[in-house]
Chain A
Amino acid sequence: MFSYIKKSKEMGILLILIVISVIISLFNSSFLTIGNLLDVVKSNIVLGMMAMGMLLVLLTGGIDVSVASIVAAVTVIIGRFMVDVSSNIFLIFLVGCLSGSLMGMINGLLIAKLKIPPIVATLGTMSVIFGLMLYLTNGTWITGIPQNFIDFGQITVGTFSIPGSEKTMGIPIQFFFFVFAALLTWFMLKYTVIGRGIYAIGGNKESAERIGMNADKINIFIYTYEGFLIGLAAVVHTSIMRQVDPNAFIGFELQVIAAVVLGGASVLGGYGTVFGTILGVSLFCVINNGLILMHIPVYWQKIVVGIVLISSISFDVIQKRMKEKKNVRVDIDEEASVSSRRSGAAGKADTAKLEQKA
């Protein structure tokens, strides 16, 4: 168990997260207060939910640069829906998730059926969706969100008293949607055939297909599922912001990718976990929050984020290489084990399942 903890990528990230948190709280004692932490959580729920979807896509070795356009489009759709049609919360969620899933499915179909490389397909859908949405809305904000939806967004669970003031704070209801998304994704990846298939495809697409995985179906599924999570995130975002700004998400896709990657997922596919992604998102938002609390000028934030991104990935790669150097005995053995390790765990589980079926 201990050796596992020492080895795993996630523990390294957790360590970095703890170190950074300690440094920030040394500079500013208000960082480690419940009020601040709840604020950090609340403002990054959308990032976290979208990161869950992106994780699945990265696991298969794909990438989705259209996430920002989809989430923006869904916020506009539900914004118009609740202002013009109905303020029934259930219906709002339904419309949000359905429209998100639909847009995700288009990506999935383009990638799986027409074999367009993911980055190119999503690039295309991104400019189509963004263009259409900005043309139809003309970039204007949607305000006048119905009161019952605003009330829904302000529900909190539990109360924490804030030291030094009489105000109390609770866990915002939006947080539970993030927990739902994370648990659902974790369960699916760990305990379902499709989840193991996602890892298998990311490890080695051909061998995954040979053992009976339908790569096309899985691809369509993950992009649809990602769209579903994005739709949910869009509703959550609207419930936090209480208005819709069509331009709010420009450039957001790279943040989502960066957060997932910080969490240890490999862009080549086959490696990444829900826990790591949560850590990556936390690291990302703790750094951003910390820089504000440390009164570092806004202009420096990008530099720090860039350096953290480069150095944390470099650290990972260098560590891996040193470990490999230590282990090298026979070149050929090493090559074989590296390639099999990538799909190893997933592959074994799948073959086991197949044997059972047979």
Chain B
Amino acid sequence: MKKSKKSETGFGSKISIFSKINRLFHKLPLEKKEFVLLEIFIGIFLLMSIISPGRFLSWYNLQSMAYQFPEFGMLALAMMVVIITGGINLSITYNATLASIIGAVVLVKMNEMGAAPLLTVIIGVAVIILTSMACGALNGFIVAGIGITPMLATLGTMTLFEGISLNITKGGAISGFPLMFQWFGNSSVLGIPVPMLLFIIVIAATYFILQRSRFGAAVYMIGCNPRATRFSGINVRKTLFLLYIYSGLLTGIAGLVMASRYNSAKESYGYSYLLQSVAAAVLGGTEISGGFGKVFGTVVSVLILQVISSGLNIFGVNRFITDVVMGGILIIVLTINFVNNKREEKALITKKIVTA
């Protein structure tokens, strides 16, 4: 596994404002890339708060952000787990919407028939979750079973899911859910929005599966070298298959939240999250060629992207300029990473020369 072991060196001096916070962070078990991300997040958050304390830091805005970003976060995690194996899952957004559309059909039908709301919602949610896992299993079968490159496999299933969704909705949106279904997207428990709660559960689950379990270790190994992993006695196909099902499950939860929040289901919901979730994962330090990536980094970069888009939105900046800023940040952060790596390499070489 690629792990930078030089994470403690030469950090406090770079951004003087945060040097104190840095020292605090050093006590946390974090990697260097994650420090940078956390700094960027805090920096942007403070910047937005200073520019517009009344509006950005308002309870209303924070609350609305807490409702908005969980669905994006879940999709980004669904993307990340697959990228860690060196693959990519282009079907996540249509996977989410297909699941929510099929669930929506069940919800609406049962609602029309006059079934008890609680039963309807339970069955509807079960259908959404199961459909999403079935879609994930299809991806898993094509990637792990047949052996097609993930990008192509999921490009195909993406088109397929979109087609099936369109066929069901005929291009419109499905609505008419029982009132109780809105609980998942629009209410809160003890002041914490339900989507946020679901997101926290998803984060915890993903963290334990990836970073604290034997299965997770196998996932990282596959990302580094699938052949060596196979030779070390791990069932690569089974691991990949299960991982794609898990990725599907995460998109299903995101689809559930989206359907509930918009109170309808449509195939194009969340489409813009597709490439953004790749960006979030990569920004969070996930290596696109596989083998490295952490839940923490991805979550922080989702927060960064959300704070930027909400902030710019509050300042009345044109939506398209927000896109420009997002793209710019992605490139700049990667450039900084590149320069840092170069500098470290140079430092290492000179060190070696000196000691020699």
Contact = CB atoms under 8 A, between A and B. Distances in A.
Interface of A: 63, 65, 110, 114-117, 119-121, 123-128, 130-132, 134-135, 254, 257-258, 261, 266-268, 297-307, 309-310, 313-314, 317-318, 321
A117 B152 contact: no
Given A120-B334, A124-B331, A321-B147, A299 B163 contact: yes
Interface string B162-182: 111011001100000000000
B321 A131 contact: yes
Contacts of B161: 306
Interface of B: 88, 90, 142, 146-149, 151-153, 155-164, 166-167, 170-171, 275, 278-279, 282, 288-289, 318, 320-328, 330-331, 334-335, 338
Given A125-B331, A132-B320, A303 B160 contact: yes
A317 B170 CA distance: 34
A123 B327 contact: yes
Given A128-B324, A131-B322, A305 B170 contact: no
B320 A134 contact: yes
6 closest A-B pairs by beta carbon, nearest first, are A302-B163, A306-B160, A131-B323, A303-B163, A127-B327, A306-B159
Contacts of B171: 299
Contact of A318 (B146, B149, B153, B328): B146
A53 to B, nearest CB: 18
26 contacts: A116-B338, A120-B279, A120-B330, A120-B334, A121-B331, A123-B279, A123-B330, A127-B275, A127-B279, A127-B324, A127-B326, A127-B330, A131-B325, A134-B320, A134-B323, A135-B321, A267-B152, A297-B167, A299-B171, A306-B156, A306-B161, A307-B156, A310-B148, A310-B156, A314-B146, A321-B147
Contacts of B153: 310, 313
A303 B152 contact: no
Contact of B275 (A123, A258, A300, A318): A123
A114 B164 contact: no
Given A127-B323, A134-B320, A135-B324, A114 B338 contact: yes
A13 B334 CA distance: 39
B155 A254 contact: yes
Given A131-B322, A254-B158, A310-B157, 18 more contacts: A63-B151, A117-B282, A123-B279, A123-B327, A124-B328, A127-B324, A128-B323, A254-B155, A299-B166, A299-B170, A300-B167, A302-B159, A303-B164, A306-B157, A309-B155, A309-B156, A314-B142, A317-B148
Contacts of A126: 275, 327
Contact of B148 (A63, A123, A313): A313
Nearest to B164: A303
B2 to A, nearest CB: 14
Contacts of B288: 117, 119-120
A309 to B, nearest CB: 4
A305 B148 CA distance: 17
Contact of A125 (B88, B142, B327, B335): B327
B147 A317 contact: yes
Of B155, B321, B335, the most chain A CB neighbours within 10 A belong to: B155
A115 B318 contact: no
Contacts of A307: 156, 160
Contact of A65 (B148, B275, B282): B275
Contacts of A305: 159, 163
A132 B322 CA distance: 10
Nearest to A125: B327
Nearest to B281: A120
Contact of A131 (B167, B275, B320): B320
A254 B154 CA distance: 11
Contact of A302 (B142, B149, B162, B325): B162
B331 A110 contact: yes
A134 to B, nearest CB: 4
Nearest to A129: B327
Nearest to B341: A115
B244 to A, nearest CB: 14
Nearest to B154: A310
B156 A313 contact: yes
A114 to B, nearest CB: 5
A284 to B, nearest CB: 11
